[in-house]
Amino acid sequence: MSTLDRRTLLKGIGTVMALPALEAMLPSTALASSAPAQSTAVRMAFLFVPNGINMAKWTPGSVGALGELPETLRPLAPLKSKFNVITGLAQMNAFANGDGPGDHARSAATWLTGVQARKTAGSDIRAGISADQVAALSKIGRSTKFPSLEIGCERGAMAGDCDSGYSCAYSSSIAWRTESTPVAKEVTPRALFERLFGSGNPGEDAQSLEMRRQGRASVLDFIMEEAAALQGRLGGKDRQKLDEYFTSVREIEQRLTAQEKRTADSALAGVTIPAPGIPMDRGAHIRLMGDMMILAFQADLTRVATFMFANEGSNRPYREIGVTDGHHDISHHGKDGSKLQHKQQIDAYHVEQLAYILKRMSEIQEPTGSLLDNSMIVFGGGISDGDRHNHDDLPILFAGGAGGRMKGGRHMVYEPHTPMTNMFISMLDYMGVQVDKLGDSTGKLQGLF
Amino acid sequence: MVQRGFNRLSGAVWAAATLSLAVGVVAPTAAQKSSEPVPVRTAERFASKTLPLIKTHCLSCHSGESAQGGVRFDLIREARQLLDDTQLWDRALINLRNQTMPPARSKMPTEAERMELITGIHTVLLAESRPEDPGRVTVRRLNRFEYGNTVRDLLGVDLHPEEDFPSDDVGYGFDNIGDVLSLSPLHLDGYLRAAEKLVAEALPGRRSASAKLETEKFQVQGGVNLRGGQLVFFSNGTAGGELVFPKRGRYALRFSAHGTQAGGDLPRLIVSLDGQGIDAIDLRGSEENPVEYELQLETRQGRARLDFAFVNDFYDPNHPDAGRRDRNAFVNEVHLVGPIGDASNLTPLQRELAPTLPGAGQERAAAQRSLRPFAEKAYRRPLTEDEFRRIMGLYDRGLRQGGHDQGLRLAVTGMLVSPSFLFRTEAVSGSGPAGDLNGWQLAARLSYFLWGTLPDAELRRVAADGTLTRPEVLEAQAMRMLKDSRSNALADSFAMQWLELGRLQTRLPDPKLFPDWSDGLRKDMVEETRLFFLDIMRRDASITDFLTAKHTFLNARLARLYGVGGVTGDEFRRVSLEGTPRSGLLTQAGILTVTSNPTRTSPVKRGKWVLDVILGAPPPPPPPGVADLVEKDEPGQQPLTVRDRTELHREDPACAGCHAKMDPIGFGLENFDGIGRWREKDGSMEIDASGKLPGGVKFDGPEELVEILVGRSDELARTFAERLSTYALGRGMRNADRGFLDSVVQKAQREDLKFSAFVRAIVSSDAFRRTTLTPDKKP
């Protein structure tokens, strides 16, 4: 793998700084020539948008080779050979199935898990392990510093106004580490940067760096013992909570060891550190978070990511493009022409940001093609029509070459109600992770690769 | 449509319970057999009196396969069946109370029959409240708010690292619910980074004030030259100046000096303070290799004169070695350091843990002395020997690595990411079905409830000596804490969540329609309601003041929005609302904005807010697939007000049932626009702020609406008790908590619903002071 351009610049807001010092846990031997061991690693990302899609402006008119793109997909025209539109997939367990209202909560909770989320406003939340986390917990996740990356643009709801008796955890998470543990996501660009690349002081000398590294190792040993001792004294749900703690400590320890083996921090020479805070402009925010996801892929810090452009049910207006009503309000269009048009505008705006991310990935060269060629990027949502709240005929777009196996430029149409989880089984299988079943899957998705 | 679940007990249900007191509903006694879910007398009364009424008034719709809404009552044969679906019966009670069931077209029950239905059902539901089940709270991770307060109070630094943490999970309307708060690697990453940053700030390298003396301004006598700041003694002479000692104490004088050698003696320099010699130094060293000297001096505060005197000049021009002919002295930079070991140079945590560095070999003992009380504070309980040994193990590693301070740093860092710090655990051992919390556990419950932070010294004292387990001490402590300014945390955290004002952060009113809107105004709105809540709490007023108070708190910007004159500047002040249509929370701009859409008011959202937040009777969510309001006027038609559009919406029978409850309340507030400004017109049309509630009560305008709501203060009290208890305990309310909440409301009612009465009733309850010991069922 070629070393990365030492002057790689992240676009977006921020100030240029010198090479940031490495975080305590990084070894002090960052060599410009050290390169990720595996050159053909395939990356996987799931990009989520809420409140359904104006499907009339999304679904291509014909099956097979993509002709003229529907209005919403037009920003992707230059990349037409790099993606497929997939029609017919469904998440049947996101329907009420007797649980009553709460389609937004279920949309997000089911999107990558394929299971019926338990209807509860708080205690005993339960969905299922998500496709990305299956990869993160496998050897794929174990071979990088971060097993997976969870990012988004909106924090979880801060006040108790969740969807119809469903916990807020459902509508603000798509990644589930276990069936009771959604994975928190990072929404602040600066915090994401520091998590990925460290926040050390540029002037810090090797001795003090080594002291910090050793200190952190000691602290991790210490808290492992603390947790083990405490666990003996607790039971039931308390123990579950402590398990989450254990898992987190282990992951961080594992990262420490993984990092000893390999580093690609040279990728960071001259990157732009994002300014603190969150950009007001949603497009800028998505692009900035996307930049860092790309950088993390590029530097092989992780191979698995989930990215929520917005939380499910989000009611944010999109003033950037002249939409002053809330996204959720608009999605209940009642076939009103102006609402449908506004919905399409928001959809297209999200697709524009997707186009930016895909284009950048296509420009990063790796020995066996571009980063995009070596990736599987799924973009879409868990609701089809925002007004009907239906979870079949889902809007799904599959981009990237999957390491040369995926042929793009097609509109693939499957039987109605084909489980979307079948696609995940195929993707995981392709990454070398054999899974018999995920949620409601019935097998692989034929003809995907 | 987004909204809360129903599995919370509702105010309306509780209001019904108040009425039931007359018929002697008391908490079930311990004698009651747990095998019998409903006491025999209750079951008999239900079967003989209540059930026949259900059959008469409900079965025509709610029976058989095609029962309305899928709700069947025809299968009910005995009281215990009600406990199979308490949520359903809660809703039934709400509907009976609101008189929305039976619907108007049916044969209506008499008032006495309606009361019997309410009391009979409520009494059965109360059967699950048993003293042996005070409830159990899952270990609670400190949420962002609590973490920030806790590290600030524990370490004495104001860094707010929690601002970068992921947002906390919310359950039952609050972000401090143990069951719901999860922890992911992202959190632990954050905790580790935060601990390192905090410790670096709280335990920095030691420093003393050090000042370079202005030697170039020294006065000289005899053979001295000043070469820049260097004192050059070419012959016997004195150079000196006045020093200012900021404090009494020990100081160090540091300077580098050298001499040129000649004759048998070394050049001698006398250093004196106010004429008293401190030291006589025989200078070694050379120009290339000056020597560093440090002189210690004790002095009082104030001015003193420092002098350097060269006293043994020697000159031998005939010495064969040109380098040994002339004896001179040179003093280079002079620094005054100190006061040494003075606590004012230390951070609060340094003062607490290590005001002075222990001598060699003494470090470990010193660390043990200072770390144990610190750890008790951090873990909010005494430590086991094993735990303390582990902390000392961490200290030892740091000690070896970088000395005493480094040992302390590592130990404190470790504690800040230990699960015993990050989680509030309540391990209670015992054999019975329930056990008492100990003093430490009560102290932590109290301090996180009322202050959102760890216990202070006073609480730790009564925790340690066990007196906090005495109810009168517990209550007294709670009252002390409520009066303390730290209880502002209740306004910052509880009130913001109860009133759903946190969501104001994400509200973006259309700037074209609301040019007054700004981020500053948003903050002002939150501040108004926060101060208003605090005012009621500080005056210990009745919670009905939340609805009726004829005053509020405004600054100039908000006063302009309200059309109130005479308020200038950014400072908030108390402003009377007499003579205006505003009163209480309902007419505050923050609440009115958070219940509006970006472009217009939403009577539906306002109505729902009142039903949920004030009356505790949230309406069910709309069925899927319903159309939203028509937003645009048809061309050529009479323009419509928001009210007109909302009324149109209600023509759909599928919507009418619930919207008949919600919308009228919202109509009563239509005189307030999407950001809370008073208005007489919606577009070109006059506002109609009249409404008719289910049951036929009519009103016109916000003042009459508030009057009606005050008449339902029982429901407000129930709702407030339920929300405050959820926040205080960090868990959702269960059907089994019905008796506990009954008692909170009764006690508060005996004290005219004073704010403090709720707090006292909650902290003195079994739910707060005891815990169920039976292990959780595996989910």
- If one compares B621 and A410, the residue with the highest pLDDT of the two is A410
Cβ neighbours of residue B27 under 8 Å, at least 6 residues apart? B126, B129, B131, B739, B742, B743
List the single residue in A with minimal CA-CA distance to B386: A229
pLDDT recorded at residue B213: 87
CB atoms B177 and A122 under 8 Å: yes
Chain A partners within 8 Å of B393 (Cβ): 222
pLDDT 10s digits, B305-318: 999 999 999 998 88
Cα–Cα separations (whole angstroms), residue A318 to A76, A348, B509? 21, 12, 12
pLDDT value at B22 more than 50: no
Enter the tokens of residue A27: 């070894």
> For testing the chain B interface, which of A130, A223, A285, A343 should be mutated: the one with the most B CBs within 10 Å?
A223
Predicted confidence band of residue A138 (pLDDT cuts 50, 70, 90): very high
pLDDT recorded at residue B343: 63
Chain A partners within 8 Å of B422 (Cβ): 245
Mean pLDDT of B244-258: 85
CB atoms A166 and B5 under 8 Å: yes
Mean pLDDT of B250-279: 89
pLDDT recorded at residue B693: 83
pLDDT recorded at residue A122: 63
Select the highest-mean-pLDDT range: A16-30, B199-213, B483-497: B483-497
pLDDT recorded at residue B395: 97
CB contact, 8 Å: A233 with chain B?
yes
pLDDT recorded at residue A241: 86
pLDDT 10s digits, A371-398: 999 999 999 999 999 988 899 999 999 9
CA distance B725 to B763: 9
Q: Where are the beta strands (DSSP E) in B338-458?
A: 423-424, 434-436
CB contact, 8 Å: A184 with chain B?
yes
pLDDT value at B33 more than 60: no
pLDDT 10s digits, B404-416: 999 999 999 999 9
Q: Where are the alpha helices (DSSP H) in B418-518?
A: 419-422, 439-450, 457-464, 471-483, 488-489, 496-498
Q: Kindly state the helix (H) or strand (E) to which residue B241 belongs, with its residue range.
A: strand B230-245
pLDDT 10s digits, A401-412: 998 888 899 999
**Percent of chain B having pLDDT more than 90?**
56
Of residues A163, A182, A325, nearest to B599 (C-beta):
A325
Residues facing residue A317 across a β-bridge: A326
pLDDT recorded at residue A12: 29
pLDDT 10s digits, B429-451: 777 889 999 999 999 999 999 99
Question: How near does any CA of chain A get to the CA of B193, in Å?
Answer: 9
**Is the omega angle on the peptide bond into residue B621 within 30 degrees of 0, that is, cis?**
no
Residues facing residue A65 across a β-bridge: A410
List the single residue in A with minimal CA-CA distance to B179: A123
CB atoms B624 and A389 under 8 Å: yes
Question: How near does any CA of chain B get to the CA of A159, in Å?
Answer: 6
Three-class SS of B679-709: CCEECCEECCCEEECCCCCEEEHHHHHHHHH
pLDDT 10s digits, A270-297: 556 777 778 889 999 999 999 889 989 9
Of residues A123, A163, A338, nearest to B179 (C-beta):
A123
List the single residue in A with minimal CA-CA distance to B178: A123
pLDDT value at B300 more than 90: no
CB contact, 8 Å: A222 with chain B?
yes
- If one compares A273 and B513, the residue with the highest pLDDT of the two is B513
Q: From B433, B576, B591, select the one nearest B504 (Cα to Cα).
A: B591
Mean pLDDT of B366-372: 96
Q: Interior CA angle at A316 toward A313 and A322, to 5°?
A: 135
Cα atoms found within 13 Å of the Cα of residue B88, Cβ hemisphere only: 12
CB contact, 8 Å: A50 with chain B?
no
CB atoms B167 and A155 under 8 Å: yes
Q: Of A119-128, A186-195, B13-22, which range is least confident?
A: B13-22
pLDDT value at B527 more than 90: yes
Question: How near does any CA of chain A get to the CA of B623, in Å?
Answer: 7
- If one compares B14 and B359, the residue with the highest pLDDT of the two is B359
ipTM of predicted complex: 0.74
CB atoms B732 and A123 under 8 Å: yes
Chain B partners within 8 Å of A188 (Cβ): 164
Which residues 240-259 on chain A approach chain B with CB closer than 8 angstroms? 241-242, 244-245, 247-249, 251-252
Of residues B7, B170, B195, nearest to A168 (C-beta):
B170
| Long-range contacts at B217-221 (CB < 8 A, ≥ 24 apart) | B217/B241
Cβ A200 vs Cβ A20: under 8 Å: yes
CB contact, 8 Å: A430 with chain B?
no
List the single residue in A with minimal CA-CA distance to B143: A158
List the single residue in B with minimal CA-CA distance to A178: B184
pLDDT recorded at residue A37: 39
pLDDT value at B772 more than 80: yes
pLDDT recorded at residue B628: 55
State which amino acid sits at residue B465: D
Q: Tell me the average pLDDT of chain A.
A: 82
Q: Tell me the residue length of chain A.
A: 449
Question: How near does any CA of chain A get to the CA of B637, in Å?
Answer: 17
pLDDT recorded at residue B102: 85
Cβ neighbours of residue A348 under 8 Å, at least 6 residues apart? A57, A71, A72, A74, A75
Question: How near does any CA of chain A get to the CA of B163, in Å?
Answer: 10
CB contact, 8 Å: A123 with chain B?
yes
Residues facing residue B716 across a β-bridge: none
Predicted confidence band of residue A39 (pLDDT cuts 50, 70, 90): very low
pLDDT value at B684 more than 80: yes
CB atoms B4 and A158 under 8 Å: no
Cβ A233 vs Cβ B427: under 8 Å: yes
**Percent of chain A having pLDDT more than 70?**
83
CA distance B314 to A326: 93
CB atoms A164 and B175 under 8 Å: no
Q: Interhelix angle for B755-763 vs B439-450, to 10°?
A: 150
CB atoms B2 and A162 under 8 Å: yes
Q: Which residue segments constitute the domains of chain A, with CATH numbers given?
A: 43-187+282-430 (3.40.720)
> For testing the chain A interface, which of B1, B2, B136 should be mutated: the one with the most A CBs within 10 Å?
B2
CB atoms B185 and A157 under 8 Å: no
List the single residue in B with minimal CA-CA distance to A120: B5
List the single residue in B with minimal CA-CA distance to A248: B185
- CA quadruple A66, A68, A74, A80: dihedral positive or negative? positive
CB atoms A165 and B1 under 8 Å: no
CB atoms A229 and B193 under 8 Å: no
For strand A43-48 and strand A375-380, is the pairing parallel, antiparallel, or unpaired? parallel
Cα dihedral A289→A293→A299→A305 (10° resolution): 150
CB atoms B508 and A317 under 8 Å: yes
Chain A partners within 8 Å of B9 (Cβ): none
Cβ B205 vs Cβ B408: under 8 Å: no
Backbone angles phi, psi at A399, to 5 degrees: -115, 160
Q: Tell me the average pLDDT of chain B.
A: 87
CB atoms A223 and B418 under 8 Å: yes
CB contact, 8 Å: A387 with chain B?
yes
Q: Where are the beta strands (DSSP E) in B135-189?
A: 140-141
pLDDT 10s digits, B154-180: 999 988 999 888 888 888 889 998 888
Predicted confidence band of residue A162 (pLDDT cuts 50, 70, 90): low
Chain A partners within 8 Å of B195 (Cβ): 219
Cα–Cα separations (whole angstroms), residue B693 to B109, B165, B173, B243, B657? 19, 45, 27, 82, 12
pLDDT recorded at residue B481: 98
pLDDT recorded at residue B228: 83
Q: Kindly state the helix (H) or strand (E) to which residue B90 belongs, with its residue range.
A: helix B86-97
CB contact, 8 Å: A280 with chain B?
no
pLDDT recorded at residue A87: 96
